[in-house]
Amino acid sequence: MEHQAPSESAVVLGTLDEILKSAPQLALIEKPGAEGYCIKWLELRGVRHLVIAGADERGVLYGSFALLRKIGAGESIRDLDQRQAPSAPVRWLNLWDVVGVPRAPGVPPSPMRLFGDSVLWENGSARRDLSRLHDFARMLASVGINGCAVSIVNAEPRLLDPNFLPELKRIAGVFRSWGVRIVLPVDFSSPKHIGGLATFDPFDAKAAAWWKSKTDELYAAVPDMAGFVMKADSEGTLGPSAYERTHADAARPIARALKPHGGLLFYRAFVYNHRLDWNDMKADRARAAYDYFHALDGRFDDNVVIQIKNGPIDFQVREPVSPLFGALEKTNQAIELPIIQEYMGGGRLVPWWKDALDFDMRVGDSDTPVKAIVTGRAFRQPVGGFVGVTISSMDPTWTRSHFAQANLYGFGRVAWDPDLGAENVIEEWTRLTFGNDPTTVRTIVDMNLRSWRMYEKYTGPLGLQTLTEITGNHYGVAVEASENNGWGQWHRADADGVGMNRTVATGTGFIGQFSPAVAAMYESLETCPDDLLVFMHHVPYTHKLHSGKTVIQHIYDSHYEGAEAAEEYLRDWRSLAGRVDDQRYREIRASLEYQAGAAELWRDAVAGWFFKTSGIPDAHGRVGRYPSRIEAEAMKLDGYMPQRVIHFETASGETAVRCSAARCSAGFRHEGAPGWHILKVRYFDYAQGAARFRLWVGGQLVDEWAADDTLPTRRAEPDGTSSTRRMISGIALRPGDKIRVEGVPDGTEDAALDYVEVLMD
């Protein structure tokens, strides 16, 4: 259809070519790069128009959102004159949604699925009502995301079933209307396990032919599919090692099947042996990606992209960047970043990604920041970019956490332009989400920017990584869970010291995978940054950091600072009462209260574990001494039975009390000063059941609540995931007052209690 330039002032939208057809006078606009846009005021026959000219259709969409963003953030558009194009063609999500069966009732969610059910899938097929997916896809487009893997990388076979094509078509159709192309996760063994062939050897002509016909079939249904993502030889998935082939061999037949359709194969470098020998001091999971892939540089087809997690382990709170980024000069690469809240439950992530993207690999001893490598600038690779791992969720806030939305927003913005500062991105998000009140904006931006380091401080500082249930839910604290198994997320803490020796001189040699300049920095204790010290070196607890503190004192201090910062977070949020609408104010306050409680548990568990293991006291006398705490096991118990907890550090005094009767109680007398007090009750909330608690002071009921949260533990016994706390303030106490907690179990949830802390208000 021919359009005429409007006669009244208007916003004129279109691709540059379309606009020029109807208004050749606008030839003044310089064409932006692919998917880019110009926004500019131009005068036509005496009338000023705001013109959004896209290089292509996506460009028009992104330009329109850019304008809305400016208006929403309260910026002036009076003299707008902007030309932008994305940093890289790949700005994708990998959704770790599962198509298959939904979670059975009573089974706790994984940390990822804490946030609610998929917007794509329900009971094994595409949701009947996909309106929420429309909103999701629009949200992705609003931050420039143009591709989305529709289910988890542990590929479900049914995605390749011909009967499933209509489901894929429906999903692809919704995404398409917002410029987002779908990506399919595929399993390398498919020719055998889905195709019924005798082999999936990539050198077998029949296996290659199977990939070709399957790919053709998929493209007939979804002609604009962006490609496949594949996890091979990783955490139990089959791969080329079954036939002693390389990953380049494995990629070839699949890439060639995709090529005629313009499809890409994203081959994940997350390949490692999860049956390593813990007693082998040279074994090192961090080495794996480089060891498997660097020698294959240049041997992948040009439509293969190696998808590399930011760090060599797995989304840990602090890791160096993967040395593989500096080792592939003739191969397309993309960085895989977590948006998901696995391992990083409390973290706001933009500053963390920026840290990785800005890191200079010093390839050839010149400036080679990771962002220049993955955008293809550094080694002139044609395709590359950013893959964010997340889930979709039906929850009204998208993730059951208002603040976690900053991560998805930030991912899109950073992928669009990795040179944007974390503060700019977060300020944009804050203004668009909470409005332009200066105090609100300043407070939230500041909270967001502090979040990663706060989380690191109360979980795993110095490169200890996230000291969590490595073989389980990757959520609650369990310091030793990473040791003595084959998964390789080891910290090797013992009575004398801590850390993995990854040096070239005497360790696993991992450090030697970096360029000489970077390797030299990590190899030497003099120059290795404190925040990665025990990732790179095994050191005695008495080793002095650059700060002058010993390692052990730093661990103690860091956990106290982190937990205090989480309390401060809560105070900051409370200062916004009345500035944010009631519902969001309350919901965010509740999540920050939970986080402050979780941080306190992490503090006590990790500091307590290191105190017991090292035998070195805290110079400030805090660790292991909690004068205002009354252990449940020391109270007068009626029905409650003391029991040691599974990981000793996850309950104060290593013991909780559990109730196997219909109702139990634990009481004590207040021995402190008279006055207003806060009571902190630490108890355990399993995923199952909703045990009830009541708190009585001097015969009066002062609080009651249910343990009905859904935390991702499968255990019906106290652990570092179920431990949680209730704070009750404004309690008047006199010496001798009787304080009593009553617990009423519900099914297997036995109203377990850890302690009560009595603090002056």
Catalytic positions are 235, 314, 342
474 binds ligand GCV, rule: CB under 6 A: yes
By CB under 6 A, the residues from 232 to 261 that bind ligand GCV are 235
Residues 473, 217: Cα–Cα separation, whole Å: 38
Q: Are strands 664-669 and 738-744 parallel, antiparallel or unpaired?
A: antiparallel
314 lines the binding site for ligand GCV (CB under 6 A) = yes
Q: How far is the CB of 268 from ligand GCV (least distance, A)?
A: 7
Cα–Cα distance for residue pair 126/135, rounded to 1 Å: 15
83, 36 Cβ separation under 8 angstroms? yes
Q: How many residues bind ligand GCV (CB under 6 A)?
A: 9
SS3 305: strand
Contact 326, 301 (CB under 8 A): no
Binding of residue 22 to ligand GCV (CB under 6 A): no
Cα–Cα nearest to 389, from 293, 315, 494: 315
CB of 275 to ligand GCV, least distance (A): 14
Q: CB of 153: closest distance to ligand GCV in angstroms?
A: 5
Q: Which is nearer to ligand GCV, 87 or 468 (CB)?
A: 468
Task: Say which DSSP state 550 is in.
Answer: B
- For position 230 contacting ligand GCV by CB under 6 A, the verdict is no
User: x/- string (CB under 6 A) for ligand GCV, residues 110-149?
Assistant: ----------------------------------------
Q: How far is CA 266 from CA 89, 123, 151, 176, 393, in A?
A: 13, 27, 14, 20, 24
Cα(465)–Cα(92) distance, rounded to whole angstroms?
Answer: 27
Q: Which amino acid is at 575?
A: S
* Alpha-carbon span 595 to 620, nearest angstrom: 24
Q: Mask: binding to ligand GCV, 81-100, rule CB under 6 A, as x and -?
A: ---------------x----
Residue 287 buriedness (CB in 10 A; 0-12 / 13-18 / 19+): buried
Query: Which of 154/643 has CB closer to ligand GCV?
Result: 154
Would you count residue 159 as binding ligand GCV (CB under 6 A)? no
Of the pair 289, 632, the CB lying nearest ligand GCV is at 289
The answer to whether the beta carbons of residues 288 and 241 sit under 8 Å apart is no
Q: Minimum distance between the CB of residue 469 and ligand GCV, rounded to whole angstroms?
A: 11
Q: How many Å apart are CA 151 and CA 87, to the nearest integer?
A: 26
Q: Both ends of the chain: CA-CA distance in Å?
A: 71
Shortest CB 270 distance to ligand GCV, Å: 5
Question: Which residues, 378 to 397, sit near ligand GCV by CB under 6 A?
Answer: none
CB closer to ligand GCV out of 117 and 633 = 117
Phi, psi of 53 (to 5 degrees): -110, 120
Nearer to ligand GCV among residue 338 and residue 376 (C-beta): 338
3-state SS, one letter per residue, for 646-701: CCHHHCHHHEEEEECCCCEEEEEECCCCCEEEEEEEEEECCCCCCEEEEEEECCEE
Distance of CA 429 to the CA centre of its chain: 18
- List of residues 6+ apart from 487 with CB closer than 8 A: 274, 276, 285, 470, 471
Place of tokens 């009541």: 694
Give the residue from 227, 744, 477 showing the smallest Cα distance to 752: 744
At 77 the three-state DSSP class reads: coil
Give how far Cα 694 sits from Cα of 422, 607, 663, 689, Å: 45, 30, 11, 16
Nearest to ligand GCV of 440, 468 (CB atom)? 468
H/E stretch holding 61 reads helix 57-72
Using the minimum distance from each CB to ligand GCV, give the nearer residue, 327 or 337.
337
380: Cβ contacts below 8 Å, ≥ 6 apart: none
Rounded CA gap, 569 and 171, in Å?
Answer: 39
**Measured CA angle at 546 (ends 464, 608), to 5 deg:** 40
**Residue 152 binds to ligand GCV (criterion: CB under 6 A):** yes
Q: Name the amino acid, one letter, at 12.
A: V
Which C-beta is closer to ligand GCV: that of 59 or that of 311?
Answer: 311
> Positive or negative, the Cα torsion across 576, 581, 583, 587?
negative
Pick the closer one to ligand GCV by CB: 457 or 474: 474
DSSP structural state of residue 400: S
Residue closer to ligand GCV (CB basis): 149 or 739: 149
CB of 342 to ligand GCV, least distance (A): 6
Least distance from ligand GCV to the Cβ atom of residue 313, Å: 9
Q: Which residue among 270, 403, 429, 475 contacts ligand GCV (CB under 6 A)?
A: 270
In the complex, minimum distance from the CB of residue 276 to ligand GCV, in angstroms, rounded to a whole number = 14
Nearer to ligand GCV, 23 or 230 (CB): 230
State the Cα–Cα distance between residues 124 and 605, nearest whole angstrom: 40
Hey, is 632 helix, strand or coil?
A: helix
Whether 594 contacts 565, CB under 8 Å = no
Give the shortest CB-322-to-ligand GCV separation in angstroms.
Answer: 13
From the list 150-158, 176-184, 216-224, 541-549, the region that binds ligand GCV by CB under 6 A is 150-158
In the complex with ligand GCV, which residue's Cβ is closer, 231 or 647? Answer: 231
Shortest spacing between CB 696 and ligand GCV, in angstroms:
43
Helix axes 247-258, 205-221, angle to 10 degrees: 40
- Beta carbon of residue 311, minimum distance to ligand GCV (angstroms, whole number): 12
The CB-of-235 to ligand GCV minimum distance in angstroms stands at 6
Q: Running DSSP on this structure, what letter comes out for residue 40?
A: E
CB of 264 to ligand GCV, least distance (A): 19
Q: With binding defined as CB under 6 A, does residue 154 bind ligand GCV?
A: yes
Residue closer to ligand GCV, measured from CB, 187 or 631? 187
Site residues (CB under 6 A) for ligand GCV, limited to 65-84: none
Cα distances from 238 to residues 124, 305, 389, 626, in angstroms, run 23, 19, 21, 51
Which span sits near ligand GCV by CB under 6 A: 151-159, 183-191, 287-295, 648-656? 151-159
Which residues here bind ligand GCV, judged by CB under 6 A? 96, 152-154, 231, 235, 270, 314, 474
